[in-house]
Amino acid sequence: MAEKVSKSTTQVGGQRKEKLEEGNELSGKVAAEGTDLQGSGDLPEGAVGSRENGELKMDFELLPFEIVRGDRMEPFIFKFQFKNVEYSSGRNKTFLCFLVDSQQGYVEDELQRGYLEDEHLGPHAEEAFFQQVLPDYNPSRRYQVTWYVSSSPCAACTAKLVEILQARQTVHLTIYSARLFMWEEAEIQEGLKALAAAGCKLRMMKPLDFIYTWDTFVENDDQTFTPWEDCQENYEYYQEKLADILQ
Ligand SMILES: [Zn+2]
């Protein structure tokens, strides 16, 4: 794109413009690096303060290379990571799509939307959500939080979520999971039960939820998503397991 512009302007003394553009690009990079250094060096808390500089920058400064936060994910990532197969080999990270609707009285709602991806090196996506997307809590606000996750939370995350929901009574969390994570484990089952008891609504993703997630959180280029052939069947399988655990 930039090349095209400079070529077409060469005839009218575009050389200078070309250089200017290169210069801008360079100084942009330098500026970004400079901010990074600042953020990870002298100002560990500075990331929060520089929110107006762009949220992406803030996230990378807080947790370099461990959590990815984005607006919409690549289609092939969604199709692989959210596939509701029974055995999830190769899918060793969690993708968490979120919608937050927070309201205070009659003031217009604040909406947030995006996704988080963890690497299982640092905090899991569930915990990262409360560090990055909803770090502050105001008890006079009501928070309607909806997650679409590639797999249900691990035992450690369920414990953390229970703690958070108990401390933040006006946060209402609904989790739609594509798959149940290690649901045979007693620890996991206890965790999910405790989470439900803390007021979290736990659901498995139906074919329609996969379509919704595709439409809302994937770079879909206006393409429609057709659920996998066994999507409904797998949903029913997991739904039954979840119902057994929560009964
Ligand atoms: Zn976890």
pLDDT digits (tens, 9 = 90+) for 188-227: 999 999 999 999 999 999 999 999 999 999 999 999 999 9
pLDDT given at position 67: 81
- Asked whether the predicted pLDDT for residue 81 surpasses 50, the reply is yes
Residues with CB under 5 A from ligand 1 (ion): 124, 154, 157
Of 61, 117, 126, 127, which residue is the catalytic one? Answer: 126
Instruction: Give distance in angstroms: CA of 162 to centre of ligand 1.
Output: 13
- Return residue ranges of the chain for CATH 3.40.140.10: 66-246
pLDDT given at position 108: 80
**Catalytic site residue 187?**
no
Token reading at 130 = 């409360």
Mean of the per-residue pLDDT values of the chain: 78
- Asked whether the predicted pLDDT for residue 168 surpasses 70, the reply is yes
- Asked whether the predicted pLDDT for residue 29 surpasses 70, the reply is no
pTM of the model: 0.73
Instruction: Give distance in angstroms: CA of 153 to centre of ligand 1.
Output: 5
Q: Which amino acid is at 129?
A: F
The residue-averaged pLDDT of 17-39 equals 34
Instruction: Give distance in angstroms: CA of 124 to centre of ligand 1.
Output: 5
pLDDT given at position 120: 60
Instruction: Give distance in angstroms: CA of 64 to centre of ligand 1.
Output: 18
pLDDT, tens only, 87-136: 766 677 899 999 999 998 888 888 999 999 987 667 899 999 999 999 99
Which CATH number is 66-246's, of 3.40.140.10, 3.40.47.10, 3.40.50.150, 3.40.50.1220? 3.40.140.10
Instruction: Give distance in angstroms: CA of 125 to centre of ligand 1.
Output: 7
